[in-house]
Structure 1
Amino acid sequence: MTILLDSFFFSVNATLPIVLMVLAGTVLRRRGIIGERFVDEASAVAFRLALPCSIFQEMAGSSIAQVDHPAVYIYGGGTILLAIALLMIIIPRIYRDRGVAGAVIHGSYRSTYAYVAVPLSQLMFGQEGSGPAVVMLAVVLPIFNIMAVVILTLFHPDREETLSWPVLRKVLVGVVTNPLIVALVLGVLWHWSGLSMPAFAGSTLDFFAGMASPLALIALGGQIDFHPGRKGDLRPVALATVIKLVLIPLCFIPPALLMDFTPQETGALFLLYAAPTTVSSFAMAKGMGSNSDLAGRILLSSTIFSSFTLFIGIFLLRALGAI
């Protein structure tokens, strides 16, 4: 009974703050207190300033900049690539419409890792214990971005897009200059340099890092649009949501439990698989002329239901002593 209660309160304390912050953004948007411009600007500030400061601070200020167990990152990146390969084989056999297939594949594997998984890891394990989740970010972010362009190009509705070198080069440049990747690399370099952080610089980083999660999560909630009058086939939405939140974690977490991963590493893997679909999936689908309407509905569905699946998953892993 004590173990169950501990697992229950651990799960509540980990997931409820995230859910409430996202809900706050949704309520503020629906009441007109914040608008689309605020959401866009808040997302930009979180992505380009606050989150990079948080990641730099974590990598520069502790021993987590040393990767002691690379197997977990190989496992995380490898399983995501395996999931993408299986989805690219199976989903087109279910949906002949290329735009639908592309949206389902894209929404089924790509997590909002920086906005949800990293803050959740901090709540579960503290600042020091969130190291594996931050390092995992550097592994999966290039995979997410590169494969998103590959998928949306190969499954473009008009079949006019080609996967050319200029397209891939643009993606690679975007990955290398991604603020989160840049911050992580700079943080590791600072850690290895052995230099001490000036007091004023540390305080400034604390201010920016402290606003990272609240700003990102409120912006995430503000982007949720329920579209009460919108109609459409819910089956691809349901399929992508189930794959993202249930099937992928069920496929890859049990084998991970048999490996010699720490609780923090197991938690990073679970959050990698079980976090909801990223907001950028909608933006990329819209920008590349894919099925952005379906991508938006998958985003909405996975965000809503992840509040339940994340709680259940964290509860079970805690009860099993895995995290």
Structure 2
Amino acid sequence: METSFTLLSQIFAVTGPVFIMVLVGMLLKKIDLIDDAFINTASTLTFRATMPTLLFLGIIKADLATALQPRLIGYFCLATLLSFAGAWLWSLRFVAGEDRGVYVQGAFRGNCGIVSLALAANQYGAYGLSTGGVMSGLVIVLFNILSTIVLSIYSSSYEANLRTVLRDLAKNPLIISVAAGLLMASLELSLPPWLMVSGEYFGSLTLPLALVCVGGSLSLEAFRDSGRVAVSASLLKVLWLPLIFTALAWALGFEGRELGLLFLFLASPTAAVSYVMARTSGSNARLAANIIALSTLLSVITIMVGLYLLQYWQLI
């Protein structure tokens, strides 16, 4: 009993700060201390400035051999591709045609850059931040390409071409920061101490600010109105797909912090940007909002239970 309590305390020390900040965001929005204008501005600041700074510094401070792990990143990208394919196949049988694009995106596109990265940093410190930062930056390429494909197929008003997708990827601040960090680390270049400290101050704004924005953007009304399709997509995202691909990773020999990092990234709730893409494509944005809200709330339980079981069985 004491061992279980100690284990639960350790897990809450990792997950508690992350999900409490999400709840703080919900509370601040509820009592009107923050509004949609603040959330939009803060989210833009996070995406375009503070998070790229955090990822860049995390990579250049780390040992490149530690941060860049082809086997780990390759498996995560493969799991993302298979999750996308599996969600799409499932949707062909159980989801109406016009909602399939939103369903598939909600079921495979995780909030890796905020929730997973915060959990990884809490769990594994500098290793979680640097390796997780590389994973986040690279998987964004897959997320954007796959989401664009499936949304364009099932939307009558949205057409995308390869040039547009590549242009957006080339301008993505997170991808640019990861590439720049990897280049500096490979050349063994360093920044002046005063610039490193200033950058760390600025980058430290990222996770609390981003998590508050996630909480502030959640809609309890959307959660109450979630239907069968939203429940199905949410359970795929935070329960079934993480269970399948974490078990497969263990069977393939992943263990310790590598397996833990994979679980945290696989089990992340649906990314908030999926709502923006659904609305831009003329798809069912309300369904996208429902999936984001429901998957985020469910992930509080599934991530804590998953971490408990992995640590109880001494796999991580």
Specify if TM > 0.5.
yes
Alignment partner, residue 225 of structure 1? 219
**Equivalents in 2 of 1:2, 1:172: separation in Å?**
53
Q: Which residue of structure 2 lines up, in the alignment, with residue 314 of structure 1?
A: 307
Shift of 1:232: 5.1
CA RMSD of aligned residues (A): 1.9
1:274 aligns with 2:249: no
Please tell me the residue identity of whatever aligns with 2:235. Answer: V
| Contact 1:276 1:306 survives alignment (8 Å) | yes
The answer to whether the 8 A contact 1:132-1:264 is kept is no
Gap regions ≥5 residues in structure 2:
none
Show the 5 A alignment for 1:20-35: 20-35=20-35
Q: Is 1:47–2:40 an aligned residue pair?
A: no
Gaps of 5+ in 1: none
1:292 and 2:246 correspond: no
In the alignment, residue 14 of structure 1 is paired with which amino acid? V
Pairing 1:236-247 to 2, within 5 Å after superposition: 236-247=229-240
Who is 1:171 aligned against? 165
TM-score, normalised on structure 1? 0.92
Per-residue deviation, residues 40-86 of structure 1 (Å, max 9, x unmatched):
00101111111111100111111046556422211111111111112
Q: In the TM superposition, what whole-angstrom CA distance separates every residue of 1:165-217 from its partner, at most 9, and x where no partner exists?
A: xx222111111221111111111111122233202111111111111100100
Checking the alignment, whether the CA contact within 8 Å between 2:55 and 2:130 is kept in structure 1 is no
Aligned to 2:188: 194
Q: Percent identity?
A: 28
In 2: Cα distance, 1:2 partner to 1:56 partner = 41
- Size of the aligned set, in residue pairs, is 316
Q: 8 Å contact 1:130–1:264 — kept in the other structure?
A: no
Paired with 1:36 and 1:15, the residues of 2 have a C-alpha distance of 26
Tell me if structure 2 keeps the 8 A contact 1:132–1:265: no
| 3-state secondary structure, aligned to 2:237 | helix
Supply the distance in 2 between the matched residues of 1:142 and 1:134 (Cα, whole angstroms): 13
Higher relative CO (Cα under 8 Å, sequence separation at least 6) belongs to 1
Cα pair distance change 1:231/1:192, threshold 3 Å: closer
Per-residue CA shift, 1:123-161, capped at 9, x if unaligned? 0011234333222113311111111111111111xx354
The structure-2 alpha-carbon separation of the partners of 1:211 and 1:67, relative to structure 1 and needing over 3 Å to count, comes to closer
Structure 1: which amino acid aligns with 2:181? Answer: G
Code of the aligned partner of 2:123: M
Question: Is 2:103 the counterpart of 1:87?
Answer: no
Instruction: Give the Cα separation in 2 of the matches to 1:313 and 1:64.
Output: 29
Q: What residue is the counterpart of 2:10 in the other structure? A: 10
Cα drift, residue 2 of structure 1: 5.8
Tell me which amino acid in the other structure corresponds to 2:135. M
Kept in 2, the 8 Å contact 1:64–1:128? The answer is: no
In the alignment, structure 1 residue 203 sits paired with structure 2 residue 197 = yes
Structure 2: how far apart are the matches of 1:173 and 1:66?
30
- Which whole-Å CA distance do the structure 1 matches of 2:66 and 2:170 have between them? 21
Distance in 1, Cα, partners of 2:268 & 2:16: 14
**Distance between the aligned counterparts of 1:7 and 1:255, measured in 2?**
24
